Amino acid sequence: MKESKNNFWNQRYDAEDYVYGTSPNDFFKEQLTKINKGDLLLPAEGEGRNALYAAKQGWNVMAFDSSESGKQKALKLASEHKVAFNYEVKDVLSFKTNERFDVLGLIYAHFPKDIRKSANQYLLQFLKPNGTVIFEAFAKEQLANASGGPKNLDMLFSIEDIQNEFSGLEFELLQQQTIQLNEGEHHKGKAEVIRFVGRKK
């Protein structure tokens, strides 16, 4: 299971183009500008588009992903733009650091259902008290759309899933929205997403 998952992402990121583009996610960018610069953790960061944006804005960025191909493209992007960020190849429950972060950015971090709640709770431990989570991922209704995301209902989210899996947060914003995605070839078109901003109690 782990090996096949990693192979899937390595094969996807082996493409020469950046499959989700090189611009940051709109919601992530919008919310990050409201927060004083500090330390940022980006799990499941893929090819580095959000890490690049944050580093260019002066954030101290730590990113990780299960894909070696994703890391190589992310570091290439950083080099081209003359910025730096830390990037490790790790599965979510294998990631370890003594650092604590001001912001945790979860942008389309769709973990398998059997580990998803434990993974999300695990990641919250790396957030400082009063730290902020910025989250965007596909809602269950996304199955009806062709604009991207897992084709497994159990990997998609409902509002109730969020409230259950992110206990320990105070939600400043939590909503499901219909949006138009334009993030490379694999996130394009009408999409059903859930977005939230939460603060660690």
Domain that holds residue 65: 2-200
Query: Tens of pLDDT along 142-168?
Result: 999 999 999 999 999 999 999 999 998
Question: For residue 161, how many other CB atoms are within 10 A of its CB?
Answer: 19
Q: Is 40 exposed, middle or buried (0-12, 13-18, 19+ CB in 10 A)?
A: buried
Q: Return the CATH number at 163.
A: 3.40.50.150
Question: The tokens 């003594």 sit on which residue?
Answer: 98
Number of domains in the chain: 1
Question: The tokens 């138009």 sit on which residue?
Answer: 180
Query: Tens of pLDDT along 6-18?
Result: 677 777 888 778 9
DSSP-derived 3-state class of residue 90:
coil
Query: Tens of pLDDT along 33-53?
Result: 999 999 999 999 999 999 999
Query: Tens of pLDDT along 107-139?
Result: 999 999 999 999 999 999 999 999 999 999 999
Structure tokens at 77: 């992007």
Kindly tell me if the per-residue pLDDT of 2 is higher than 80.
Answer: no
Calculate helix-pair angle for 49-56, 68-80, nearest 10 degrees: 30
Under DSSP, the state recorded for 31 is H
Q: Is 117 exposed, middle or buried (0-12, 13-18, 19+ CB in 10 A)?
A: middle
- Sorting pLDDT into bands at 50, 70 and 90, what band is 1? very low
